[in-house]
Amino acid sequence: MHPLRATPRYTRAIEAVADLLAKLRIESMFVGSVARSAWLGGLIDSGSIDVLGVMQPQQKNQVAMMASNRGFRVDRHEIDQTEELDLIPLTWIDEDDVRVHVLVASNALYARMFGAARVVQLHNLEIRVPSAEDTALLLSMSEEHDDVRILAASAQFDRRAFNDKLVSIGLRELVL
């Protein structure tokens, strides 16, 4: 794994999201650019912050309500539009705003991802990211095939476990 590096604005956004979910006692794991940075290196300096949270549907409203009181802009119309997507769209208010997507972990695949998650350090904060294999799976879903190949070539990557997972969820065509 690589040490996480983020611009000050993105560091503040990640810290605020981690604090929000911890206060609500919601188990979380950062995916997207944060996971990519943890496994492939690079600076987190653009795009959205994506985090997966284990929560019941009724907790979505708690996240939105508490976020609005903790430095986030919450647009009720956006939340209503994303209801079926199990997504809570937020905006961290800073000198330049940062989009945040809190994804509701709602299936067995996500549960397995949490079990295999790794801890990574961002300054004084410990956060969780998916395993190398689960990060590669998520990158595959985003069609980031070059990043998947780079990650698969790393010493931390278990190619057999990755391929077994792909087959088990019906994605045999993505086997490496």
Rounded CA-CA distance 164/100 in Å is: 31
Establish how many alpha carbons lie within 13 A of residue 57's alpha carbon, considering only the half-sphere containing its beta carbon: 6
| Predicted local confidence at residue 91, as pLDDT | 95
| Predicted local confidence at residue 154, as pLDDT | 92
| Domain extent listing, the chain | 5-130, 132-176
Rounded CA-CA distance 113/135 in Å is: 9
Question: Would residue 12 be called left, alpha or beta, if left means φ above 0 and alpha means ψ between -120 and 50 degrees?
Answer: alpha
| pLDDT tens digits for range 112-132 | 889 899 999 998 899 999 999
Average pLDDT over all residues of the chain: 91
| Predicted local confidence at residue 1, as pLDDT | 87
Rounded CA-CA distance 63/50 in Å is: 14
Q: Which of these CATH numbers, 3.40.50.720, 3.30.460.40, 1.10.3720.10, 3.40.50.2020, describes 5-130?
A: 3.30.460.40
Rounded CA-CA distance 130/39 in Å is: 9
Q: How many beta carbons lie within 10 A of that of residue 109, not counting itself?
A: 13
Can you list the residues of the chain whose pLDDT is less than 70? none
pTM: 0.91
Q: Residue 137 burial (CB < 10 Å; 0-12/13-18/19+)?
A: buried
- Given CA atoms 12, 125, 22, 50 in this order, what sign does their dihedral have? positive
Element (H, E) at 33: helix 32-40
